[in-house]
């Protein structure tokens, strides 16, 4: 663990105290250096925030004592937009809530579908930290939280906000693996539909998609330049995309549809601008039963991994604020549905 990662060690030490692994005092510095594989300087940096909070007291003769009464407790906000009942019923939410509770924090869901209203502003001041999910973070919200010195982590990057701490799925890595697999099967003309629901995301996505194509030796197509409006509903955006393909009359051999195929199937099959049967569609789906000779699905991943990773990052920001930004990617596993042997 490098010195630059001492906030991670700070959070780890605090967690061990919460869990009762360390009780009245910490092990010797020599034992902790060996346990965590760090230098004396990294350990010193990691201990300093906990000493400043009063959780630890360092003495030359008696070692580093623990005062568990000083453990951080408070309210953590989980910010989303839309129907919060759907989010709460998702099985991925409960492990996160359980983990927060075991750490001594309370959690509260917050809907920001209507923007940063005065009531939302007042509520934000009650949180010890916030996690933004479902593309809920806006530039206005980020700047407001920074001005109030409230720690927050987003589960999506926000391209127009350069100083953001974020943890998100490595979707580019997953898409590259899919593109490479089908390129080997002869699908050279490929396109990607990926509507990011945040300002500036489309530009970032296009750049990464072009890099993937260049690395795999795939040709660039007119369709790669189609603009996607981040502010409209996903199905409306997909319909506009299909219309654009129809107008340029350049259909790919393979369309990677990076949104749920479940709610897109009717649009793909029966819309005025539906895709021809010669275009193979690949994308995530909740159901393994979606059929069609030109459709291949993989399991949609709503794993709690990103949420838990964002929570770990938030704990680091709360415990040991650092000038070094947190930018972490969580692997997006590719799990294919049976697809009747098409792959």
What distance in Å separates the CA atoms of residue 309 and residue 307, rounded to the nearest whole number? 5
pLDDT on residue 341:
53
Mean pLDDT score of the chain, rounded to an integer? 88
According to the model, what pLDDT value does residue 274 have?
Answer: 84
What does the pLDDT average to over 189-206? 90
Q: How far apart are CA 102 and CA 239, in angstroms?
A: 45
Superfamily of domain 171-301+336-341: Response regulator (3.40.50.2300)
Q: What's the pLDDT score for residue 119?
A: 78
On whether the CB atoms of residues 76 and 128 are closer than 8 A, the answer is yes
The domains of the chain are located at 3-70, 74-169+304-330, 171-301+336-341
Least confident of 126-135, 212-221, 261-270, 295-304: 295-304
Name the class of domain 74-169+304-330: alpha beta
Report pLDDT digits (tens) over 322-342: 888 999 999 998 999 876 555
Find the DSSP H helices in 129-233. 139-147, 171-184, 201-216
Average the pLDDT over each of 52-61, 94-103, 108-117, 148-157 and give the range with the smallest value.
Answer: 108-117
Taking a C-beta distance cutoff of 8 angstroms, is the pair 175, 133 a contact? no
List pLDDT tens digits, range 15-28: 899 888 998 899 99
pLDDT for residue 3: 45
Predicted confidence (pLDDT) at residue 301 exceeds the cutoff of 70: yes
| DSSP symbols for 5-50 | GHHHHHHHHHHHHHTTSS-SBPPPHHHHHHHHT--HHHHHHHHHHH
Compute the average pLDDT of residues 207-233.
94
Domains 3-70 and 74-169+304-330 share a fold: no
Give, in words, the CATH class of 3-70: mainly alpha
> Which tens digits make up the pLDDT trace of 266-282?
888 888 888 888 999 99
Tell me the two tokens of residue 321.
């604020």
User: Partners of 77 in the beta sheet?
Assistant: 108, 130
Q: Which pLDDT score is estimated for 179?
A: 98
- Counting beta carbons within 10 angstroms of the beta carbon of residue 235, is it exposed (0 to 12), middle (13 to 18) or buried (19 or more)? middle
What token pair was written down for 160? 């127009």
The DSSP 8-state label assigned to residue 156 in this structure reads: S
Alpha-carbon dihedral 242, 247, 251, 252, rounded to 10 degrees? -70
| pLDDT surpasses 80 at 86 | no
Per cent of the chain over pLDDT 90 is: 51
pTM for the full predicted model: 0.83
- At 30-51, the pLDDT tens digits run 999 999 999 999 999 999 999 9
């Amino acid at each position: 663990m490098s010195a630059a990662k001492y906030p991670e060690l700070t959070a780890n030490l605090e967690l061990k105290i919460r869990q009762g692994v360390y009780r009245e005092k910490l092990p010797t510095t020599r034992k902790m250096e060996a346990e965590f594989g760090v230098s004396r300087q990294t350990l010193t940096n990691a201990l300093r925030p906990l000493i400043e909070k009063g959780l630890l007291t360092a003495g030359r003769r008696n070692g580093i004592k623990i005062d568990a009464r000083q453990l951080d407790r408070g309210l953590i906000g989980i910010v989303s937009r839309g129907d919060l009942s759907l989010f709460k019923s998702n099985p991925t939410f409960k492990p996160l809530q359980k983990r927060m509770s075991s750490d001594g924090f309370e959690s509260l869901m917050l809907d920001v579908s209507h923007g940063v209203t005065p009531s939302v502003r007042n509520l934000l001041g009650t949180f010890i930290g916030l996690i933004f999910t479902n593309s809920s973070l806006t530039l206005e919200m980020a700047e407001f939280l920074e001005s109030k010195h409230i720690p927050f982590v987003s589960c999506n990057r926000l391209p127009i906000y350069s100083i953001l701490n974020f943890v998100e799925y490595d979707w580019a890595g997953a898409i590259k693996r899919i593109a490479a697999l089908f390129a080997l099967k002869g699908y050279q003309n490929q396109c990607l539909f990926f509507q990011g629901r945040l300002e500036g995301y489309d530009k970032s996505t296009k750049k990464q998609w072009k890099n993937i194509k260049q690395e795999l030796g795939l040709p660039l197509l007119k369709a790669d330049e189609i603009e996607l409006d981040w502010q409209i509903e996903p199905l409306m955006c997909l319909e506009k995309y299909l219309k654009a393909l129809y107008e340029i009359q350049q259909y790919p051999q393979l369309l990677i549809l990076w949104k749920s195929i479940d709610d897109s199937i009717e649009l793909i099959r029966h819309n005025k601008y539906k895709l021809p049967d010669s275009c193979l569609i690949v994308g995530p789906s909740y159901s393994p039963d979606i059929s069609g000779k030109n459709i291949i699905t993989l399991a949609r991943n709503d794993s709690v991994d990103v949420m838990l990773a964002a929570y770990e990052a938030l704990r680091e920001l709360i415990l040991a604020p650092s000038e070094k930004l947190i930018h972490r990617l969580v692997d997006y596993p590719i799990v294919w549905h049976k697809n009747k042997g098409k792959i």
